[in-house]
Structure 1
Amino acid sequence: MTIATTPRRGASRRALIAAAAGAALARPAFAQEWPTRPLRIIVPYTPGGTTDIATRLVAEPLSRVLGQPVVVENRPGANSIVGAAAAATSAPDGYTLVMVLPAHAANATLQAGKMPFDALTSFAPVSLVVQAPLVLAGSRHVPAEDFRGFVDYIRARPGRVNYGSSGIGATAHLAMEQLALRLNLRMEHVPYRGTQPALQDLMAGNIGLMFDTYSTLKPQFEAGNVRPLGIATVTRPDFAPNLPTIIEAGLPDFAASSWCMLLAPARTPDAINERIAREVRAIVMEPTMKKRLEDLGFVAEGRAPAPTGEFLRAEVARWGEVIRTANIRVE
């Protein structure tokens, strides 16, 4: 015969305390063990571009503080889908990250149902690292000198003024479509294979205007080759104090930027993502690094995982609405 026994109250309490202590010790132990080998940050673009530069600026100091190499791996293709897919299918162990641009948010709508991952649920947000505000530049072949003058010129010629971008679905393309929707303008989009050929045609007068980052356009502004029409920020950034905002020119609440954001595979432990985010923030906010980023036209962010996730969801919704309203399609 088996006799059931009731544990003594003191013994039961000691067992519960021991179990809780063991669980508490296990969590920091996991965090302390990581990292034990090199990390990689996938850049879904070719070397030398904005994303690649921002990633490498962060990777070197991150490797020092983590005590492990941080390898930058370029995996271009399909407007960032190839590199993002490689990250999404990697082990969620804290050793793989991907640095994405707004194209990642736009692809959620442009490539809906065609990607091997979901732009939101396949990833864990880590950190919005930097933003690069967009600047509107106009051709000097257009007889207008400022933002309002260009708007009047376009309105007087519906459908006859062309604008360029680095490609369909690029931030510069979507921002211009949003601008056109807000101002009820009719323009023709000319997509290029990258920024430089679009900029060359802007200088030649083959297109009337385009959006791009300040670091790209600044040399041409200084040389007098194109007109600075406005920057798409709420306030003038420190690196361009003399450049009026588009809001100042009369379009309320218009802001748009390119950005660089670190994501990890979904189910990567929160403790690891939060540690990386803390280190990234310390890196980009360090005064010398912050100044270096500003010289490149970046605004340092270093956001934590939760606000980074909120930002990404807002960008997916924002550009999704523009894509649907403007009926933008990828050929």
Structure 2
Amino acid sequence: MTMTEIAPFRLKPWFSERPWGRKSLKPWYEDTGTTELVGEAWLTGPQCVVEGGDLEGRTLADLSRELGGEFPLLVKLLFPNEKLSVQVHPDDEQAKAAGETRGKTECWYVLEAEPGAAVALGLKPGSDTEKIKAAIADGTMESLMEWVPVQVGDMLFVDAGTVHAIGPGVVLLETQQTSDVTYRLYDYGRPRELHLEQGLKVIKPKTAAGKVAPKPMEGFTRLIEQKYFIVDRFDLEEMEERQISMEGAGCLVGLQGNVWIITPGEEIELEPGKAVVIPQGTGEVIVEAEKGATFVRCVAPVSGNQ
């Protein structure tokens, strides 16, 4: 089976239980299938299952193996009800040196934000290893971090090697390399494993992390363009049909309103909070959307498709 023989398909979100998560993810999801706290909805996780069509019931990991590789982007919705741990991710070179497949560079697009919501991106100048160790030991790690206020529509780049954290009161769309390599440095006293030795090795004192200004394009808004991903937002002001190009492997994620992806012999509904994977080689898809609909396109550039 070749890539072009697989038509676009919709995935069912996989819900990840986290101690900082929420009981309810409404209005995004009516039911998570668990009574535990859920922090993440993985939209293109390897364990996500196809909904509808000839591929129904197959996992993304299963399909990716048939196509000769891993799907390059892990797209999630994050629902923090409390602060996430302070953590850092390695870059590709550091990850491979530690026996991992690849590093973890990511970005966050703010979908909801309560007044005063903030994220931490990077360390204050002069925060060396000894200061970090001391702050972790005495519970003052937050004071070493650069806290950034956020509001709906902000895009934040989280470069590998950036010490970071997410505060409560937000819903984020996260697009990242397909990797779950996370070194937890500080967790506010929660009884979870820390990875101080590994984390200190990969911290970079200065990275490209920070807010990214949106860039108006013809027919859409470019939210971010980096080596591993390009994320664009489409806002439909009237009921319309348009062609959407997909130069690399990627997906479309519904954010608001009714959207349909037209494929030969099938219409796939793109619901808010779900992803439709567009296999590499598809080229273009036809999207029909109602007035007021919003969706994003997440693509792994071919050059960064590692």
TM-score (norm 2): 0.28
TM-score normalised by structure 1 residue count? 0.27
Q: Which has the higher strand share?
A: 2
Which structure's residues are more often helix, by fraction?
1
Higher alpha-carbon Rg: 1
